[in-house]
Structure 1
Amino acid sequence: MSNNSKMKSTLKSDDVEEWLDLKIVRPLGYLWTLFFYKLNVHPNTVTVLSMIIGGASGFFLSKRADTTEGIIYNIIGILLIMWANLYDSTDGQLARLTGKKTRLGRILDGAAGDIWFISIYVGLVVRLFPQTIPFTHIQWGWWAFLLMATSGFLCHSRQCNLADYYRQAHLFFLKGEANSELDNYNQQKALYQQAKWRDDPIWKFFLFTYVRYTKVQESQTPEFQKFMAAVRQAYPTQLPQTLRDDFRAHSLPLIKYVNMLSFNTRAIVLYVSCLIDMPYLYPLFEIVVLMSMFFYMRSAHEKFCKQLRQNVEARKY
């Protein structure tokens, strides 16, 4: 097997990979994967390292880029995010290579990105706080906090949450349940209720956050939930290949939006806006451009799920 084939064996699917990831991030991540594999490092350890590295970026991005020193600080912050993202790729590739795929790993992987961006948003608030709002004489002050809170909690988290869900749904129909991480709220709630605080408080806490995560995913996708309920009732053991193919045909055109709502697109905008010392452009991009994309993607996905549900109920597969 060639090195390229070995690298591709650690990926989820070409369907859900961006060009930038396939050409740069995944190959570099694979080199790190081999390095950690030789050292017998667990994928979850790599995830924790990515949290620490990405979390440190906020300090460097809190500095203005209006001096040489400030630009250097921003470049360091950007490099830390890139490094953390490489490790975010590495942990999944390492898990697939070693077979060490765990629910805790899935939860940690989702938490890693949150930690990076919370640090980044805090850094940008600190950066903007003493500055004036463009074209006014008003100091940003707490308006910077409001802008970042709106961008982070109301937009960014919803965008990444739904993008992750649609990616897992696509993989579920493409490769089957064993090769997907399409979790549901009821299952995760049952696991949470079974876990005991006194036995494993850390695991209990992670389950608590993940239960909320899956609940939000399902609340945003009512037609998909109806479709999945119809699918499970009609085909409890095995899905017809025609249904799998039909879902993929409808889902694949939306994967480009799934990817743009994930990391690379927003990261590039973040890098540029920080380097030109206009960091407020980044949250505005998330609020205006990415939220418009979010609503379009969700509407299109819900529409075809309704159509497929009707086909399932009519026994057309």
Structure 2
Amino acid sequence: MSNSEDNLFEQSLKSNDTEERIDIWFYRPIGYRIAQLCASRGITPNAVTITSIFFGVGAGILFYYGDLWINIIGMLLLIFANSLDSADGQLARLTDNKSRFGRILDGFAGDFWFASIHIALCFRCMDQGWSAWIWVPGVLAGVSHVFQSAMADYYRNVHLYFIKGKAGSELDNSTDLQQELDKMSWKHDFFQKFVLNGYKNYTRLQENLSPKLQDLLLIVKQKYADTMPAEFVSRFRILNRPLMKYTNIVQFNTRVLFLFLWLFIDQVWLYFFFDMFVLNPILIYMCRRQEQVSAICIQKLGQSVDEA
């Protein structure tokens, strides 16, 4: 890439702190080219997101079959769906075409993919002789995935909020969302209110799982009004950046690499147990560590007030 191309590519990224190496080396360059093509054709980020849902769900359906070559086609479709998922955000940042609905849609896209995958794998296991009890780990793994993705996404946005400010993050809170909901009418704004209400509940779930972090965000908002001093930002970044690797582990790339492995050896039931007994402990550690970082930052803020 030329220097101007490099600058545009960097502009299309969220932050080096929150980007995973596989994404930087593989998905982001592909997503950047797709974003450039879409920008030249006037295709919106939301259209790209919706297209990714079809490819991701199609991939899940192909994982039902026991034929490895059909599974490989499904793997390629899932890789392309994730490239589109990368492209929609990059396109939004390059064209400054961002919206809350787009963020919500983007978040639900992955849920559609993995719901399809979990359903297909459960039916595949039943065809291979498993009883209907396979739906228990299948559903529990699906619920685990929702929690893992929700908290990983939330912690990434919190990190971006601290290092880039409100404009550089997609961080929302349920109180502000409720205020927006109160201004809407179910009669005149049914769809918008329905979507926003679901998003508010999703955000409240994230907040309920991070009480100490909520205390920190409230203190920062009251003390700095979203404009934090460089020294505090630097301190938070040093403490919090190591956690970003865990947000990456519980999201797409790690789980999909192992999913592909289970498909290659035709032991897809392992995917459910990997989700529950490997990724969930990482989620628990990630949440506990984030709370510890928040407590340290609250203590530092208290000390700075006392010193002042």
TM-score relative to the length of structure 1 = 0.92
Supply the AA of the counterpart residue of 1:144: I
Quick one: distance in 2 between partners of 1:90 and 1:190?
32
Q: Which residue among 8, 11, 15 is the counterpart of 1:9?
A: 11
Q: Which residue matches 1:291?
A: 280
Quick one: distance in 1 between partners of 2:226 and 2:139?
44
SS at match of 1:41: coil
Q: Which residue among 27, 30, 33 is the counterpart of 1:31?
A: 33
Matched, 1:250 2:239: yes
Q: Which residue matches 1:216?
A: 205
Is the contact made by 2:165 and 2:226 (CA closer than 8 Å) also made in structure 1? no
Matched, 1:94 2:91: yes
- TM-fit CA distance, 1:149: 0.4
Quick one: distance in 2 between partners of 1:219 and 1:161?
12
Of residues 225-234 and 45-54 in structure 1, the stretch that sits farther from structure 2 once superposed is 225-234
Q: Which residue matches 2:267?
A: 278
Q: Which residue matches 1:141?
A: 131
Residue deviations 1:69-93, cap 9 Å, x none? x112111111111111011000000
Q: Which residue matches 1:265?
A: 254
Is the contact made by 1:43 and 1:92 (CA closer than 8 Å) also made in structure 2? yes
Matched, 1:173 2:175: no
Is the contact made by 2:59 and 2:77 (CA closer than 8 Å) also made in structure 1? yes
Quick one: distance in 1 between partners of 2:187 and 2:105?
21
Percent of aligned positions with the same letter in both sequences?
A: 38
Q: Which residue matches 1:76?
A: 73
Q: Which residue matches 2:21?
A: 19
Is the contact made by 1:50 and 1:87 (CA closer than 8 Å) also made in structure 2? yes
Q: Which residue matches 1:106?
A: 103
Quick one: distance in 1 between partners of 2:89 and 2:188?
28
Q: Which residue matches 1:233?
A: 222
Quick one: distance in 1 between partners of 2:105 and 2:225?
31
Cα 1:141–1:192 shift into 2, 3 Å: farther
Quick one: distance in 1 between partners of 2:110 and 2:188?
27
Supply the AA of the counterpart residue of 1:45: A
Supply the AA of the counterpart residue of 1:163: A
Supply the AA of the counterpart residue of 2:26: I
- TM-fit CA distance, 1:206: 1.7
- TM-fit CA distance, 1:128: 0.6
Supply the AA of the counterpart residue of 2:192: W
Quick one: distance in 2 between partners of 1:100 and 1:186?
25
Task: Provide structure 2 residue ranges, at least 5 long, that are not aligned to the other structure.
Answer: none
Stretches of 4+ aligned residues off by more than 3 angstroms:
none
- TM-fit CA distance, 1:312: 1.3
- Aligned residue pairs total 304
Quick one: distance in 2 between partners of 1:241 and 1:225?
21
SS at match of 1:16: coil
Task: Provide structure 1 residue ranges, at least 5 long, that are not aligned to the other structure.
Answer: 65-69, 133-139
Quick one: distance in 1 between partners of 2:159 and 2:112?
26
- TM-fit CA distance, 1:180: 0.2
Supply the AA of the counterpart residue of 2:196: L
TM-score relative to the length of structure 2 = 0.95
Q: Which residue matches 1:152?
A: 142
Q: Aligned-pair RMSD on alpha carbons? A: 1.4
Of residues 233-242 and 48-57 in structure 1, the stretch that sits farther from structure 2 once superposed is 233-242
Is the contact made by 1:159 and 1:262 (CA closer than 8 Å) also made in structure 2? yes
Quick one: distance in 2 between partners of 1:232 and 1:9?
27
Is the contact made by 2:122 and 2:135 (CA closer than 8 Å) also made in structure 1? yes
Residue deviations 1:177-209, cap 9 Å, x none? 101011111112222332333334332222122
SS at match of 1:129: helix
Q: Which residue matches 1:121?
A: 118
